[in-house]
Amino acid sequence: MNILYDRHETADQIEFEFHFLPLANLIFFLTVVASVAHCCNRTLRVCGILLILWVVGLLPAWIELEKAMSSGSVIASGSKLSFPNPLRVVISKIEGHAQP
C-alpha cells in the first residue's frame, strides 16, 4: 500500500490516481525559491530529502507505467497541479487497445 497514489486493478484495466502531486510541485518550488534566496541550508536539506523520498515512493508506479507506455495502452486524464482533479492514468490490459 502506497500513500502517494491509489492503484485499482480490474479484469481489463489498471488505474493509478496520484492525489498528492500538487504538494510535490510545491515542495520543489520552495526548494528552488530557498536556493535562489540563499535561505538556510537546513530548509534546502529537508526539501531535498522530501523530494528524494517522493521519487522513491513513486518508483514502482513509474516502472509499471513505463512498461505499459511501450505497448501504447495508457490514457492519462486530470491535472498534476490540481487537488480536486488529480492525475489519473489508466492502463488497458487488452494488448494494443487503449480505452477512450
CA distance 46 to 35: 12
Q: Which of 91, 78, 92, 80 is nearest to 4 (CA)?
A: 80
Query: 18-22, 23-27, 64-68, 86-90: which has the minimum mean pLDDT?
Result: 23-27
Q: Do β-strands 87-92 and 13-18 pair in parallel, antiparallel, or remain unpaired?
A: antiparallel
For the chain, give every domain's residue range. 8-92
Higher pLDDT, 17 or 26: 17
pLDDT of residue 1: 57
SS3 69: helix
- Residue pair 80/22 in contact (Cβ under 8 Å)? The answer is yes
Mean pLDDT of 42-49: 77
Q: Taking 90 as the threshold, does the pLDDT of residue 15 lie above it? A: yes
What is the pTM (predicted TM-score) of this model?
0.72
